[in-house]
Amino acid sequence: MLAGDARAIARAISLVESETPEAASLIGQIFKRTGRAYLIGVTGAPGTGKSTLVDALTAEIRRAGSTVGIIAVDPTSPFAADPGVYIRSMATRGHLGGLSRTTSDAALILDAAGKDFVVIETVGVGQDEVDIVRTADVSIVVLVPGTGDDVQAIKAGIMEIADIFVVNKADREGADRTAQAVAANLSLHPFAADEWKPPIVRTEANRGVGVDELWRQIGRFREHSAGQRAVRQRERHRVRLRELLSRRLVERIEAGLPEGEIDRIAERVAARDLDPYSAVAGMISSGLKA
């Protein structure tokens, strides 16, 4: 796996997804070999063409001579024959659980396996997904013309995390308006002279248009933020630690409670026989005693 063998990588990622003690042990073993890959987080709502954009960006990175690992929601695979690209799908597991945890571990595997860049694609909003992209080395938010009615929602959730905005499908009607709305939003924030101001890149990913400019902006951001990379990494690990902590603690309480106790408590709460806050206080005191 450390030599970049695709089958070994696949097995290692399956192992970390299994969340067994062996998974923890594998991460423990390879962890010192990680931290070299540059993490590119890409997010946007369904329909923005993220997958196509990630493919076009990957082609650009390959042209520059670097290797790529991709963790994608719904990967198309134009790179099947290229040993410099490894693509992992997250689609099969759906969105119901552990997304952020297993994605982080998969990224560590690809990092240890020597990929120069790891691209992580997530759909839309949701805290886990925002955290994944927010704590990547560079965060790219993909928008598309003509989704005006929820622009407020996008603003509230993911506008703040973007290091680079992409207006994809830039040949569509309304692309100017979308770019202007983003620029107007940015103008509300007073950027200091030496502060990074997120550029707005227009692309037509399906034809490869504008992707060279996106790649150039990633390079610019990487250079600009080199001094702050450690801060971003620390934040990434802080988020990860809290999440692992929470999972391990819940496991411990559940192990300390009699079989099926949580279901019985949920039933009592549903029957209004017990309120949720009191229920949890009770679970903690009996679960920790055990």
Q: Which is nearer to a second copy, 12 or 217 (CB)?
A: 12
Give yes or no for a contact between 93 and 17, defined as CB atoms under 8 angstroms apart.
yes
CB of 215 to a second copy, least distance (A): 22
CA within 13 Å, CB half, 179? 16
Q: DSSP label at 204? A: B
Exactly one of 65, 80, 152, 259 binds a second copy (CB under 8 A); that residue is: 152
- What the block records as the tokens of 117 is 């860049």
Amino acid of residue 281: A
Taking CA atoms, 182 is separated from 4, 131, 154, 209, in Å, by: 40, 21, 10, 20
Q: Count of residues binding a second copy (CB under 8 A)?
A: 84
Interaction residues for a second copy, span 9-38 (CB under 8 A): 24-25, 27-28, 31-32, 34-35
Instruction: Write down the least CB distance from residue 58 to a second copy, Å.
Output: 17
Query: Which among 124, 182, 189, 183 has a CA at the least distance from the CA of 158?
Result: 124
The yes or no reply on residue 51 touching a second copy (CB under 8 A) is yes
Q: Alpha-carbon distance 129 to 115, whole Å?
A: 22
Does residue 207 interact with a second copy by CB under 8 A?
A: no
Question: Tokens representing 208?
Answer: 């490869």
| From 147, 185, 225, 286, residue interacting with a second copy (rule: CB under 8 A) | 147
User: Amino acid identity, residue 271?
Assistant: A
Q: Which of 65, 81, 149, 192 binds a second copy (CB under 8 A)?
A: 149
45's tokens: 């709502």
* Residue 146 touches a second copy, criterion: CB under 8 A: yes
Q: How far is the CB of 249 from a second copy (least distance, A)?
A: 4
The mark string for 218-257 relative to a second copy (x by CB under 8 A, - otherwise) is: ------------x--xxxxxx-xxx-xxxxxxx-xx----
Of positions 173, 194, 195, 263, contacts a second copy by CB under 8 A: 263
